[in-house]
Structure 1
Amino acid sequence: MSTEPSVAILGLGWLGEPLAVTLAGLGYRVAGTTTDAAKAERLRQAGIEAALWNINDPLPPAWPTALAADTLVLCVPPGKVSDYAATLGRVTALAARAGVRRLLFTSATSVYGGTGVKTEADTGPDSERGERMLAAELRVRASGIPRVLCLRLSGLVGGSREPGRFLAGRRFEGGEEPVNLVALEDLLRFIPAILAREDWPETLNVSAPHHPRRQDFYRQAAELRGLPPPDFDGGGEGKSIDGGALCRWLGLDYEVTDWFSWLAERKARG
C-alpha cells in the first residue's frame, strides 16, 4: 500500500465526482468507480483513476489494483444496489483484505425515527429505508476495516439537485415538519477535513442548523424556479437532525445557515 495520501471513492456520482476533484486538488491520489465509460474517460483526463465497476455484478476475486488506497469512501445510494447491506458488506470485506485502513460510509439520517431533536445516540428507524440503511451500517462496521465512520447525511441539495423540482405541483402531508438538509458545498468542506484527521468517531450527523417548515421551504424553492408550488396538508411534528457534533469536533461551522438565503443566492447565480 502506498504511503502517499490516497482515497478510493466507490461511486463517482453526485457527491463522489466533485469530492474526487476536490481531493485531487488537495494533493490526494484519488481513484474511484463508475458504470459510465464516458465519465471514466473524462475523469482520467482530469487525473483521477476511474475504474468501470458495477457492484451489482459478481465481485472480483481480489480488490482491484486501480483502487488500492489507504481510505475508502462509500458513496453508493441504496436505490442503485441490490440487497444493499449484504452487497456493501461483501465489498468492504474485500477492501479490508486488501489493506484498506479507513472507511467513510455516507449513510443517511433515515436511521432516526419518531419526532423531536435527534443526535447520533438516537438511532431507531421507523421506515423500511431506515432499517435498510442501519443494516448497511452494521455490515460495513463488521467488514474488518480497522476504522469506520458512518457519516449520516440529511437530504442532499446543491449541484444538480435542485430542491425547487423535488415536490413541485404535487400534494403532500406534513407541511409543518422541519426540513433536514445539507448542501453539497458544505459536504465538500467537511469531508476533506474529516479525512485529514485520524481520531474518527464512529458516527456523525451532517445537517445544516436551519430547519424551516417543509411547506415554507419547498414552496419558495419552487416559486423561485418558476415552477408550480407544492400543496401541503397541515400538521406533522417531524424530527430535527442535530448536526452540531461534527462542527464541534472539526472546529468548522456550516456555511449554509439560512436556507431561504441559499435559495435566493442559487437563483441569482442562475
Structure 2
Amino acid sequence: MSTEQSVAILGLGWLGEPLARTLLTQGWQVAGTTRDEEKAARLNDAGIVTLCWDFSAAMPARWPERLRAHTLVLCVPPGKVDDYPHTLGALARLAVAGGVQRVIFTSATSVYGGTGIKTEADAAPDGPRGERMLAAERAVQAYSAAQVLVLRLSGLVGGSREPGRFLSGKRFDGGDEPVNLVALEDLLRFIPALLARSDWPAVVNVSAPHHPARRDFYGEAARLQGLPPPEFGGGGEGKTIDGSGLCRWLNMDYSVTDWFQWLAARRG
C-alpha cells in the first residue's frame, strides 16, 4: 500500500477507527493498528488492513509491510505507552525509514499554558502534561525527511465521549473559564480535507469557535443526560484556543458553532 492516497493510522480508537472508516468510503487505502485482536479481525473484515501492535513492546527492526503507506496518522494517546515522546519519535523514525512521506500527529492544546487567547505560536506549557505533549511534538518533527503536520486538538467530544458524564457530581474551581472543545464530526470533515492538501503548515489548532463557561456547558450537558451536575467555584480567566487558522487554510467552517445546540441535538 504505497500510493499517494494511502494512509496508515496508528491507534484505531475513538478518533482513529471512525477516521479510517470515513477515508475508506472516500476511496483511500487504509491500514491501522489496535491492541485488541478481536477488533483487528473485525476491522480487517471491514476492509481496513489492521495489525495488532502494542507500542509499549520492543520496536520491530523494520516498518511492518502491512502498514506501508504514503501518509501516517499518529492517534496514539499518551496514556497508552511508556515514555510518550521517545515512543512517538521512534515510531516516526521507523515509519519514515519504511517509506512514509507525510506524518500527521494528533497532539493537544495542553501545550498552551497561562491565560488569554492562544494561537499556534503560543506554545508554553505550564505543567507536566503539556510538557510531555510538546516534547512528543518535537520528537515527531525531528524526522524532517517526512512532511509533518501537528494537529493540536482541543477537548474531544462526540461519539462515545459524552460530556455530560465527564464532570457529573464533582466539584471544581474555575467555573468561569471557557471551554475549548472539538466534536468528532468536525474532525471527520477536517482531516480528510487536509489529507488532500500538500501545502501543510507545521502546526494547526483545532478548536470550535464557541467557548461558553465551564459551569454553563457541563451543567447543561449533565442536565440533558439526567445526571447530577458538577459544582463549580467562581473565577478563572482560563485560556481560549483560537482554531480559526484551520478555517482560513482549508476554506471550511466548523459545523459546531453553538455547543448548547449540539448538546440538545445529541439528546434528541
Q: Report the TM-score, using the length of structure 1 for normalisation.
A: 0.98
Looking at structure 2, the residues matched to 252 and 4 of structure 1 have their Cα atoms a distance apart, in angstroms, of: 23
Looking at structure 2, the residues matched to 2 and 150 of structure 1 have their Cα atoms a distance apart, in angstroms, of: 22
Looking at structure 1, the residues matched to 196 and 181 of structure 2 have their Cα atoms a distance apart, in angstroms, of: 24
Looking at structure 2, the residues matched to 167 and 55 of structure 1 have their Cα atoms a distance apart, in angstroms, of: 30
Looking at structure 2, the residues matched to 93 and 177 of structure 1 have their Cα atoms a distance apart, in angstroms, of: 39
Matched AA of 2:194 = I
Q: Which residue matches 2:244?
A: 244
Q: Is 1:179 equivalent to 2:160 in the alignment?
A: no
**1:208 Cα deviation (Å)?**
0.1
Q: Which residue matches 1:51?
A: 51
- Answer yes or no: is the 8 Å Cα contact 1:96–1:144 preserved in 2: no
Q: Secondary structure at the match of 1:54?
A: coil
- Answer yes or no: is the 8 Å Cα contact 1:4–1:29 preserved in 2: no
Q: Secondary structure at the match of 1:182?
A: strand
Matched AA of 2:84 = Y
Q: Which residue matches 1:202?
A: 202
Matched AA of 1:266 = R
Q: Is 1:169 equivalent to 2:169 in the alignment?
A: yes
- Answer yes or no: is the 8 Å Cα contact 1:88–1:139 preserved in 2: yes
**1:4 Cα deviation (Å)?**
4.8
**Deviation per CA, 1:54-100, whole angstroms, max 9, x where unpaired?**
11100111000000000000000101110000011111101111110
Looking at structure 1, the residues matched to 235 and 27 of structure 2 have their Cα atoms a distance apart, in angstroms, of: 49
Within 5 A, what are the aligned runs for 1:24-39? 24-39=24-39
Q: Which residue matches 1:151?
A: 151
Matched AA of 2:134 = L
Q: Which residue matches 1:260?
A: 260
Looking at structure 2, the residues matched to 144 and 38 of structure 1 have their Cα atoms a distance apart, in angstroms, of: 36
Q: Which residue matches 1:104?
A: 104
Looking at structure 2, the residues matched to 13 and 249 of structure 1 have their Cα atoms a distance apart, in angstroms, of: 27
Structure 2: gaps (5+ residues): none
- Answer yes or no: is the 8 Å Cα contact 2:156–2:184 preserved in 1: yes
**Deviation per CA, 1:171-197, whole angstroms, max 9, x where unpaired?**
000000000000000000000000000
Q: Is 1:89 equivalent to 2:111 in the alignment?
A: no
Matched AA of 2:171 = R
Within 5 A, what are the aligned runs for 1:106-125? 106-125=106-125
Q: Which residue matches 1:219?
A: 219
Looking at structure 2, the residues matched to 171 and 80 of structure 1 have their Cα atoms a distance apart, in angstroms, of: 27
Say how many residue pairs are matched: 268
Within 5 A, what are the aligned runs for 1:7-22? 7-22=7-22
**Deviation per CA, 1:129-167, whole angstroms, max 9, x where unpaired?**
000000000000012442000000000000000000000
- Answer yes or no: is the 8 Å Cα contact 1:112–1:122 preserved in 2: yes
Q: Secondary structure at the match of 2:194?
A: helix
Q: Which residue matches 1:139?
A: 139
Deviating beyond 3 angstroms after TM superposition, the runs of 4 or more aligned structure 1 residues are: none
Q: Report the TM-score, using the length of structure 2 for normalisation.
A: 0.99
Looking at structure 2, the residues matched to 93 and 145 of structure 1 have their Cα atoms a distance apart, in angstroms, of: 9
Looking at structure 2, the residues matched to 23 and 72 of structure 1 have their Cα atoms a distance apart, in angstroms, of: 13
Q: Which residue matches 2:23?
A: 23
Matched AA of 1:135 = A
Q: Is 1:188 equivalent to 2:178 in the alignment?
A: no
**Deviation per CA, 1:181-232, whole angstroms, max 9, x where unpaired?**
0000000000000000000000000000000000000000001000000000
Looking at structure 1, the residues matched to 3 and 206 of structure 2 have their Cα atoms a distance apart, in angstroms, of: 29
Q: Secondary structure at the match of 1:7?
A: strand
Looking at structure 1, the residues matched to 65 and 28 of structure 2 have their Cα atoms a distance apart, in angstroms, of: 17
Task: Percent identity, please.
Answer: 69
Looking at structure 1, the residues matched to 3 and 213 of structure 2 have their Cα atoms a distance apart, in angstroms, of: 48
Looking at structure 1, the residues matched to 17 and 242 of structure 2 have their Cα atoms a distance apart, in angstroms, of: 27
Looking at structure 1, the residues matched to 130 and 99 of structure 2 have their Cα atoms a distance apart, in angstroms, of: 30
Q: Secondary structure at the match of 2:254?
A: coil
Structure 1: gaps (5+ residues): none
- Answer yes or no: is the 8 Å Cα contact 1:100–1:145 preserved in 2: no
